[in-house]
Structure 1
Amino acid sequence: MASNTCGLTPAGAADCWGGNSYLQALDRPGPYTQFATGGSHTCGLTPAGAADCWGDNFYGQAADQPGPYTHLAAGPDHTCALTPAGAAECWGSNQSGQAADQPGPYTQLAAGLFYTCGLTADGAADCWGDNGIAQVADQPGPYTQLAAGFGHTCGLTPAGAADCWGLDQYGQAADQPGPFGLSIDGDGDGVADSVDVCPGTVLAGDADRPAQLKANRYFADAAGIFIDAKGTDSGFTVAETGGCSAAQIIAAAGLGSGHTRFGITRSALQDWIATLA
């Protein structure tokens, strides 16, 4: 759907190429943690969770948004973002209801032509907007990832197969056995999207360090290792927590303010990992 392509450099800059009639392929310094390219606009997710957009803004689809968000998705003329609570917050063209906000909760979003889909916590596809060719038909899944096109949608199953529906004029919605996508790591946390429980994780190192971090209380450093105030390794990594940082675990598990101030405990890490088994 997009007329341009953007790559994320190791420094978090946007390196873009392709169609640039609306300046949608301009390089940007960022830093960003993720991109979404629409018909003629591009949005980058900042480390603070804001949507920084550029290019065609006729429908307001490239309007900057403060967030915070954890994930972005862009259709030809609309943009959607995932809030920390898993809700879909959208802006831009809404002629078919594709930019209607949705409560979710979702773990990922996919934006197509006049429609949007959200991936629920149990792996189902929950879609809204134009359904003229069944591209918005909800699907039970389970899926680990969704992708949306001009009139078709595909879900990636846990086994790596592509399960597709909607417009199939060119065979674009034909199911494929795969396996596909099992090693894609969209947020760069070292955990493949297919098993990442916390999309949009940013491993910011000392920027994530609790101000009153104590010994035997932990946070994830830039390498994804949970360490305490003395630099002692907890024995756990972000790979074992399903791609979740300490702050994400504290929020999701409803842990007390003490974990936010002093760091997460080793037992809390163990309990979280146990829920993923």
Structure 2
Amino acid sequence: MKRLAPCLLFALLWGACLEPIRGTAELSCAPGVDATTCQPLAQRGLARKVTVGSQHACALLETGGVRCWGGTGLVGDGTRALRATAVDVRGLGSGVLAVSAGGLHTCAVLEGGTVRCWGDNARGQLGTGDTLPALEPVEVPGLGDNVLGVAAGQAHSCALHAGGQVTCWGANDRLQLGGGTQTHSTRAVAVAGLPANLTALSAGATHTCASTAAGEAWCWGSNTSGELGDGQAGVDRSSGAVRVQGLAGPARALAAGGGHTCARVGDGEVACWGSNVTGALGDDTALDSVTPVRPLGLAPGIRQVRAGWAFTCAVDREGGVHCWGQNPSGQLGDGTLLHRAAPVRVTGLPQEAEDVAPGVTSTCAVLRDGQVACWGGNAQGQLGDGTQTDRVSPVVVDGLDGP
């Protein structure tokens, strides 16, 4: 198996972007302790990236391993147990380059360019050729060994290949697999109508977006509220992907949500489009938009933007986290249950954030010391703090060690 080139940026509803991880643990021994007996840093479990689904979340560790927490049968440890604290995903102790949590499933890219998925498979979203669920990671056949990134949606999954092509599998009732038919596919199929030089990928609930190195953005799938960004809404896109119109600059990262999409544009501006009934676009209105609008009050230089089910979060240049949109479970992290049509700052984070991932009712962030903090809905233990109690402010995930 050949090794992959350095990381290409991609964002996803519940996905991650990271630098390549080779999975080799650097030893950190006390003076006088022989290197053969001391513990490697692999045991520390510091997080690099986090991804959040509807009932679970997963952290990609700096050692290349993956740990997950949350709903029954979703954490990949081979059991059907609900895990309210982080546990190791079976067989993924090292060598993982990226991980993306969808609605009730998760997929990971491994060194060598292969993909493994686990969890629910009712629509074929694991890509295994059947609809049987998997309690631990199983390899997705037919993808080859050149996958650079993966994006998991509500019930579909997509892979970005080294040549810039995209393949998808799973649910297709809203043309999530790229048009043509509305037939679900348990095997990966190529997405039609895309340019050949794609470098970023993000899956929403029922739509997916990708961008080129030059910053063009393309989307396909559901367009009920204008989430494809081409100036129209509610139009059958059976012909395949369409190009996003009206971006003020090149798209540096994309984030597809439940019914909306956001992009980090140029040097750190944010633009969003699609459904806005709960304020997910952040422009202080409840009006859907078929073209990009700017959230209000965000300072220039936003480092990251991620879209959840009906809300959005961003990380600023100082590591502060700002969220806006739906908030019935406290997923905005401002200490309230109030919907916010414009960005508010997450309160109570113990440190600056390096990464943020909104899901359906909860949000998680990687802190600068490698810990993960989460807030919002917790009925399935998806906050990882050992309880099933909702939180309107951040709590630290158990089972991911501090420095």
Is TM (by shorter chain) over 0.5?
A: yes
How far apart, CA to CA, are the structure 2 residues paired with 1:84 and 1:13?
Answer: 23
Shift of 1:122: 2.2
- The question of 1:73 aligning with 2:202 is answered yes
Change (3 A) 1:171 1:109: same
The residue number in structure 1 matching 2:328 is: 169
Stretches of 4+ aligned residues off by more than 6 angstroms: none
Change (3 A) 1:44 1:103: farther
How far apart, CA to CA, are the structure 1 residues paired with 2:245 and 2:329?
Answer: 31
How far apart, CA to CA, are the structure 2 residues paired with 1:60 and 1:72?
Answer: 16
Change (3 A) 1:12 1:173: same
From 152, 155, 160, the equivalent of 2:311 is 152
Q: Match for 2:176: what amino acid?
A: Q
The residue number in structure 1 matching 2:156 is: 41
Stretch moving more, 139-148 or 82-91 = 139-148
The residue number in structure 2 matching 1:259 is: none
From 227, 241, 251, the equivalent of 1:106 is 251
The residue number in structure 2 matching 1:4 is: 105
The residue number in structure 1 matching 2:126 is: 25
How far apart, CA to CA, are the structure 2 residues paired with 1:11 and 1:110?
Answer: 26
Q: Confirm or deny: 8 A CA contact 2:261 2:273 kept in the other structure.
A: yes
How far apart, CA to CA, are the structure 1 residues paired with 2:111 and 2:218?
Answer: 28
Q: Confirm or deny: 8 A CA contact 2:303 2:315 kept in the other structure.
A: yes
How far apart, CA to CA, are the structure 2 residues paired with 1:22 and 1:149?
Answer: 21
TM-score, normalised with respect to structure 1: 0.62
- The question of 1:135 aligning with 2:308 is answered no
Change (3 A) 1:183 1:90: closer
Q: Match for 1:151: what amino acid?
A: A
Q: Match for 1:108: what amino acid?
A: A
Shift of 1:36: 0.8
From 155, 175, 178, the equivalent of 1:60 is 175
Q: Match for 2:115: what amino acid?
A: A
How far apart, CA to CA, are the structure 1 residues paired with 2:120 and 2:310?
Answer: 22
Q: Map of 1:124-273 to 2, 5 A cutoff?
A: 124-137=269-282, 138-139=294-295, 140-141=298-299, 142-174=301-333, 175-176=346-347, 177=349, 178-181=351-354
Change (3 A) 1:182 1:114: closer
The residue number in structure 1 matching 2:213 is: 84
Shift of 1:113: 1.0
Q: Confirm or deny: 8 A CA contact 1:86 1:103 kept in the other structure.
A: no
Shift of 1:133: 1.3
Q: Confirm or deny: 8 A CA contact 1:71 1:81 kept in the other structure.
A: yes
How far apart, CA to CA, are the structure 2 residues paired with 1:106 and 1:92?
Answer: 19
Q: Confirm or deny: 8 A CA contact 2:304 2:355 kept in the other structure.
A: no
User: Is the strand fraction higher in 1 or 2?
Assistant: 2
Consecutive unaligned residues of structure 1, counting only runs of 5 or more, are 185-193, 195-277
1:40-64: per-residue Cα shift (whole Å, max 9, x none)? 1101000011111111112211121
The residue number in structure 2 matching 1:212 is: none
TM-score, normalised with respect to structure 2: 0.43
Q: Match for 2:352: what amino acid?
A: P
Shift of 1:76: 0.9
For the aligned residues, what is the CA RMSD? Answer: 2.2
How far apart, CA to CA, are the structure 2 residues paired with 1:96 and 1:182?
Answer: 28
The residue number in structure 1 matching 2:95 is: none
Q: How many residues align?
A: 185
How far apart, CA to CA, are the structure 2 residues paired with 1:183 and 1:13?
Answer: 25
